Amino acid sequence: MSEVDGKLVKLQDAIQMKRQFLMNRQTHLNDVQTQNQFLATVRRDYEKYYHFIREQKMEQMNALKLLNTYIHDLNETGELNRQNMENARYEQQRVLDEIASVKNELDTMVD
């Protein structure tokens, strides 16, 4: 009887260890699932922010292009005196530099 009891005790111990292992594994999987849900939320928030910033940069670039066209048209019509034309050319170059900068930022965001 004692040999059977010993085997039974070993079997019960093995069952208990397996039960504890499975409970620990379940706890770990629940933790991982919670972390994944958090990371999915963070990712969605980042994507919203990314699209918002990208849209703002596109609007900024379009406004700068419109401003550049306006300055170009002022220079072409000849309605400006010499000093105003120099100022307009200077401002136009600044606008073009800013367009290049915004385009570079957009390119960096996409990469």
Q: Give the dihedral of Cα atoms 100, 103, 108, 111; nearest 10 deg.
A: -130
Residues 20-37, mean pLDDT to the nearest whole number: 92
Q: Total structural domains in the chain?
A: 1
Other residues' Cβ atoms within 10 Å of the Cβ of residue 95? 20
Tell me the C-alpha distance between 86 and 74, whole Å: 11
Query: Contact, 48 vs 100, CB < 8 A?
Result: no
The CA distances from residue 30 to 6, 27, 36, 45, 99, in Å, are 36, 5, 10, 23, 49
Q: Indicate whether this model's pTM tops 0.85.
A: no
* Residue pLDDT, tens place only, 57-102: 889 889 988 988 888 888 788 777 878 878 888 888 888 888 888 8
pLDDT of residue 90: 87
Range of the domain at 96: 2-110
Unique residue bearing structure tokens 């406004």: 63
